[in-house]
Amino acid sequence: MNKLTFEGQTAIVTGAGTGIGFEIARQLCEQGAAVLLNDIDEKLSNEAAEKIKSEGGKCIALAGDAGNIDFIQKLVNLAVSEFDQLNIAIANAGITTYGSFLDYSPESFQKIIHLNLQGSFFLAQTVARQMKAQKSGGRILLMSSVTGVQAHPFLVPYGMTKAALQMLAKGLVCELSQFGITVNAIAPGAVVTERTLSEDPDYPKEWSKLTPTRDVT
């Protein structure tokens, strides 16, 4: 069986300074893709891209808010100008906020909607327009979560956004498959990453209890 490669393809991965997003970007580069890596933290973005390049990968960084519609267009423009095309987009950027439903503030609600939903929706829309214009198809991956299918206390808004991404993927299949664009959503459980280890020293002992921490995606 031939090993799957992404040779000659270009990908955008948002929220990829650390954790799941970084590993996705790294493995895409390892399989031959050119990757535009995004994180809101400029230092993390640059360090992540440099690490991937030091391993032989083709990767550039662009720091910014992946929930901002103008910035999303900037991401797509840069990917195309640097690598001539765009074949893959992974909407990994997202935040987790905790809080009782009865006390949850409008400010926290707007913040999580801005990145988890607006960012994913308009990244998908912007890259789909580019892929349609290229007439070469493409791949869009949305990052849902186990919390999108299983309720957890104090994570109602987060789970709501992740459930919505699954419906977004289903709807986009209906509209984008005619252009050769596939759309999928995956739903990881809690994952041990740099953030969970630094923010919650007890996380490795607790993960088996299926209680999400700050870095569930």
pLDDT tens digits for range 165-202: 999 999 999 999 999 999 999 988 776 565 555 555 54
67-86 pLDDT tens trace: 999 999 999 999 999 999 99
Tokens of residue 113, six digits: 């909607």
Low-confidence ranges of the chain (pLDDT < 70): 1-4, 191-217
To the nearest 10°, the Cα dihedral for 31, 56, 79, 134?
A: -40
- Enumerate the active-site residues: 144-145, 158, 162
pLDDT of residue 187: 84
Which residues have CB under 8 Å from 102's CB, separation 6+? none
Q: Estimate to the nearest angstrom the gap between the alpha carbon of 182 and the chain centroid.
A: 16
pLDDT of residue 188: 83
Q: Three-state DSSP class for 160?
A: helix
- The residue extents of the domains of the chain are 10-190
pLDDT of residue 2: 53
pLDDT of residue 197: 52
pLDDT of residue 217: 34
State the pTM of this model.
0.87
Q: Between helices 156-176 and 120-134, what is the axis angle to 10°?
A: 20
> Domain 10-190, what fold?
Rossmann fold (3.40.50)
